[in-house]
A and B are shown apart, each in its own frame.
Chain A
Amino acid sequence: MAKPHLCDICKENPATVHYTEIVNNNLKKLNLCEQCAREKGLGVAAHFGVAEILKGLTESHQKESSEPELTCDFCGLSFSRFRKVGRLGCPHCYETFREELEPILSDVHKKTEHVGKSPSPAAMIDTTTKHLGELNRELVRAVEGEEYERAAQLRDEIKRLEKQQQKAGPEGP
């Protein structure tokens, strides 16, 4: 056997954890030391390499642009940060980055729209209504407290949910 490989990440310790994943016909091999592997949360059940794969994918879809960077109002995540970590910050990111995510979804899943189980319509409408109530109360508090930026955010969120509810109609989505 050849001399032991060094860890692909720290390049210092001998690689004792060898990891292979096959994604979309590509074989990806990583040799890591125990410490780096642990830091990566690597194990049988870990979904490793997703960030790397997404990074590769989004890079190829990146548009040349000098516009200010798109950032999610709800959680503050920027798209470039998403590219680095491969994780979105909150459910609203899917709307914020809708256009940017579309080619990624299409690469990963070959489809861009959900088919399959949905929460029961009753549960959906009920919870949306409940949530709208909470948001409206919070809006009143924000206006009273003169937190106008927060109030504007809440107003947009309420509008969005109301529109969604109307679209869903009495039959549910």
Chain B
Amino acid sequence: MDLNDLVKTGHTWMHGDGPDADIVFSSRVRLARNLANSIFPNRATPNEKTQVLERILAAVVQLDRFKGGLTLKMDEIDDLDKQFLAERYLVSRELAAAGAGSAVVIAPDQSMSLMINEEDHIRFQVLLSGFRLRDCYAIAAEIDGELEKRLEYAYSPRLGYLSACPTNVGTGIRVSAMLHLPALILIRQIDQVLQAIIKLGLAVRGLYGEGTEWFGNLFQISNQVTLGKSEEELITSLEKVIRQVVQSEKNARTSLIKSRSEALYDKVGRAAGILRNAHIITSRETIDHLSTLRMGIDMSLIDNLDRQSVNELFILTQPAHLQKLSGKALDASVRDIERGSLLRRRLQNN
């Protein structure tokens, strides 16, 4: 398996299956870990970083979960490949910006990736389709247990797992879910919902866009606190909140179909029309219409389209993906043309 194989293969979370997958696109658990008696990456010399990298890699290659996967050192791949990995959520932007001494190990089905020498020595994530926080955590805990047999973690009985930033100390866990909330936006209730989430001490942010001007209607909800609460408590409280948000979105969809069904069909039909026929289209416009199309599929307002194809397009139409697919560097204006052509090819026949 090499990096170019990733371009052709879908990520498991693109499948669009799992509980509540009509609203919860994906679930994710990330653990941050560091090695005992080793300088954190931000302060380590290149030599210290390389030593840590080699120690961790030696442990990770022994794990069943990463067998047959892909190890990529950040100084051995080019900027386009780094951006490509970030667009797939396999690495963070921070790791993509790192150089020698940093690496990522990706499991064959891409549902797990482990970053070495990002902000912490080790950060690994499990990302699954649908509302499956507990499944994510079970896998993450298993990987953690296997790593701990092979590496000595920086751990304090008082403070838990020690991280480079005090905001991650304790459990070192970040539990999050990506929610698609187009109906709450259409009925203008999104602000109330987001405020309520924040009041409960959770973090929420738009996947695309800024401030009150979100686009793509995708939101990530995650825990903020990592110390003084157990993994179980953190997951349970996040699950509760997400369940309520899912219910609000469901109610909003029901009320829309009752009161404004023609307008809804029109919106979905127009989005499909543009995506199937446009020749020049920006990333933002694409994401907006893909969101509408996904809502149309999830509410059975449109036939002959499946979730997975639309999910894939969210990722494939991103800048680095377009360039990897066409096999060459393209500037923004050429990308808009290439994006139009990709969308027409993929959507016209169905």
Produce 1/0 per residue, A33-71, CB < 8 A to B: 000001101111111001001100000000000000000
Once bound together, how far apart are the Cα atoms of A38 and B83, in whole Å?
Answer: 11
The one of A29, A76, A123 in contact with B149, judged by C-beta atoms closer than 8 angstroms, is A123
Once bound together, how far apart are the Cα atoms of A46 and B88, in whole Å?
Answer: 14
Inter-chain contact B158/A120, CB cutoff 8 Å: no
Residues from chain A with a CB closer than 8 A to the CB of B205 are: 20-22
Residues from chain B with a CB closer than 8 A to the CB of A92 are: 37
A87 interface residue per 8 A CB criterion: yes
Produce 1/0 per residue, A110-126, CB < 8 A to B: 11111111111001100
Residues from chain B with a CB closer than 8 A to the CB of A31 are: 210
Q: Lowest 9 A-B CB distances belong to which pairs?
A: A111-B228, A43-B93, A18-B210, A114-B160, A91-B154, A127-B152, A116-B230, A45-B92, A109-B227
Residues from chain B with a CB closer than 8 A to the CB of A119 are: 148, 153, 155
B277 interface residue per 8 A CB criterion: no
Residues from chain A with a CB closer than 8 A to the CB of B228 are: 109-115
The one of B34, B86, B203, B229 in contact with A91, judged by C-beta atoms closer than 8 angstroms, is B34
Residues from chain A with a CB closer than 8 A to the CB of B39 are: 74-75, 89-90
B251 interface residue per 8 A CB criterion: no
Inter-chain contact B203/A23, CB cutoff 8 Å: yes
Inter-chain contact B166/A101, CB cutoff 8 Å: yes
The one of B96, B152, B162, B225 in contact with A110, judged by C-beta atoms closer than 8 angstroms, is B225
B314 interface residue per 8 A CB criterion: no
A59: min CB distance to chain B, Å: 15
Residues from chain A with a CB closer than 8 A to the CB of B224 are: 23-24, 108
The one of B43, B207, B211 in contact with A89, judged by C-beta atoms closer than 8 angstroms, is B43
- Which residues in B have some Cβ–Cβ distance to A below 8 Å? 34, 36-40, 42-43, 86, 89, 92-94, 96-97, 119, 141, 144-145, 148-149, 152-162, 164-167, 169-171, 194, 198-199, 203-207, 209-211, 213, 220, 224-233
Once bound together, how far apart are the Cα atoms of A93 and B171, in whole Å?
Answer: 18
Produce 1/0 per residue, A154-173, CB < 8 A to B: 00000000001001100001
Residues from chain B with a CB closer than 8 A to the CB of A19 are: 210
Residues from chain A with a CB closer than 8 A to the CB of B34 are: 91
Inter-chain contact B160/A118, CB cutoff 8 Å: yes
Residues from chain B with a CB closer than 8 A to the CB of A110 are: 225, 228
Once bound together, how far apart are the Cα atoms of A87 and B167, in whole Å?
Answer: 10
B80: min CB distance to chain A, Å: 14
Inter-chain contact B159/A22, CB cutoff 8 Å: no
Inter-chain contact B38/A90, CB cutoff 8 Å: yes
A156: min CB distance to chain B, Å: 13
